[in-house]
């Protein structure tokens, strides 16, 4: 019922020529033939999005930005609005990535407003949640993730018609080379699915829950074998065409 989704978060990496090279390599690969079985979403740096889109436009990939502001318009130097993302035909936008939360002070309240603003222009939010190592060691993983999800869902009407993606990204696994084990990830994904069911059975059944945190073409298969892992949000691995293609091919099978 749920179509898998693999997303590449390029973060603030590369330059114009490497972005063009990577987008071209993905477009000229097996990936365009996979999109009937797996949604593929690229999150390049916002400044390169137009150029990347001009390359991948025919490949049936989706794309998005890594962050937006929640206000519609105004004197917010350096920010981009959800409507601007929509103008560039972004299908998805990341919200609440742990780097936004920890490095830029993004609060749970900010994530609520960003999710609401994106939904109002029909851009699908990819809500990122996850515990720190201290929270995991203290046995607070499920409680922390539940809190991050409930605070957003409680603010939204009509869960049956909610179109959102959730990315579980343990903070200690992001960019560290240390991946959650399949059991650790599945425990949290199952718990997220249960939380969603509390809002709506349909929401629980249809919502893609991605895993993120040092995913690569080696560990993707064993993680994807878990029943509640519907795809991946890859960071470092999405910067290497062969790795990203390898992850997508794993998910397709
Ligand atoms: P990583 O990043 O794959 O490099 O760990 C994932 C993310 O931050 O989305």
98 within 8 A of 54, measured Cβ to Cβ: no
| Ligand 1 binding pocket includes 236 (Cβ within 6 Å) | yes
| Ligand 1 binding pocket includes 217 (Cβ within 6 Å) | no
| Ligand 1 binding pocket includes 59 (Cβ within 6 Å) | no
Q: Grade residue 53 by pLDDT with cuts at 50, 70 and 90.
A: very high
- Name the residues annotated as catalytic: 97, 169
Q: Tokens 């969603």 label which residue?
A: 196
132 within 8 A of 171, measured Cβ to Cβ: yes
The residues with which 106 forms a beta bridge, in sequence order, are: none
244 within 8 A of 26, measured Cβ to Cβ: yes
154 within 8 A of 115, measured Cβ to Cβ: no
118 within 8 A of 96, measured Cβ to Cβ: no
Percent of the chain exceeding pLDDT 70 equals: 100
Give the integer Cα–Cα distance in Å for 174 and 152: 22
Nearest CA to ligand 1 atom 7: 235
Nearest CA to ligand 1 atom 2: 235
| Ligand 1 binding pocket includes 130 (Cβ within 6 Å) | no
Mean of the per-residue pLDDT values of the chain: 97
| Ligand 1 binding pocket includes 82 (Cβ within 6 Å) | no
pLDDT of residue 1: 78
Task: Write the pLDDT tens digit of every residue in 205-236.
Answer: 999 999 999 999 999 999 999 999 999 999 99
172 within 8 A of 215, measured Cβ to Cβ: no
Task: Write the pLDDT tens digit of every residue in 151-195.
Answer: 999 999 999 999 999 999 999 999 999 999 999 999 999 999 999
pLDDT at 32 over 70: yes
- Overall average pLDDT of the 17-44 stretch: 97
Q: Grade residue 252 by pLDDT with cuts at 50, 70 and 90.
A: confident
| Ligand 1 binding pocket includes 102 (Cβ within 6 Å) | no
- Overall average pLDDT of the 137-156 stretch: 98
| Ligand 1 mean position, distance from CA 234 (Å) | 5
| Ligand 1 mean position, distance from CA 210 (Å) | 12
| Ligand 1 mean position, distance from CA 15 (Å) | 19
pLDDT at 120 over 80: yes
pLDDT of residue 246: 97
Q: Grade residue 86 by pLDDT with cuts at 50, 70 and 90.
A: very high
pLDDT at 248 over 80: yes
Whether this prediction's pTM lies above 0.95 is answered by yes
156 within 8 A of 115, measured Cβ to Cβ: yes
Ligand 1 pocket check: which of 10, 43, 126, 235 to mutate, most ligand atoms within 8 Å of Cβ? 235
pLDDT at 87 over 70: yes
């Amino acid at each position: 019922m749920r179509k898998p989704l693999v997303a590449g978060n390029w973060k603030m990496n590369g330059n114009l020529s490497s972005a063009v090279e990577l987008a071209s390599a993905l477009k000229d690969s097996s990936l365009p033939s996979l999109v009937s079985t797996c949604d593929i979403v690229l999150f390049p740096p916002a400044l390169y999005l137009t150029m990347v889109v001009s390359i991948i436009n025919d490949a049936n990939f989706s794309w998005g930005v890594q962050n937006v502001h929640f206000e519609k318009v105004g004197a917010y130097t350096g920010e981009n609005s959800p409507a601007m993302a929509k103008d560039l035909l972004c299908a998805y936008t990341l919200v609440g990535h742990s780097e936004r939360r920890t490095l830029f002070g993004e609060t749970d309240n900010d994530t609520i407003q960003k999710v609401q603003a994106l939904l109002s222009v029909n851009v699908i939010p990819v809500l990122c949640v996850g515990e720190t190592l201290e929270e995991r060691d203290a046995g607070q993983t499920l409680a922390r993730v539940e809190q991050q999800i409930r605070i957003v869902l409680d603010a939204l009407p009509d869960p049956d018609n909610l179109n959102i993606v959730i990315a579980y990204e343990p903070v200690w696994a992001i960019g560290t080379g240390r991946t959650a084990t399949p059991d650790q990830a599945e425990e949290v994904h199952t718990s997220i699915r249960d939380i969603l069911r509390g809002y709506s059975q349909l929401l629980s059944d249809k919502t893609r829950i991605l895993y993120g945190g040092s995913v690569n073409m080696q560990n993707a298969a064993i993680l994807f074998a878990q029943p509640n892992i519907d795809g991946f949000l890859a960071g470092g691995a999405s910067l290497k065409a062969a790795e990203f293609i390898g992850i997508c091919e794993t998910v397709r099978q």
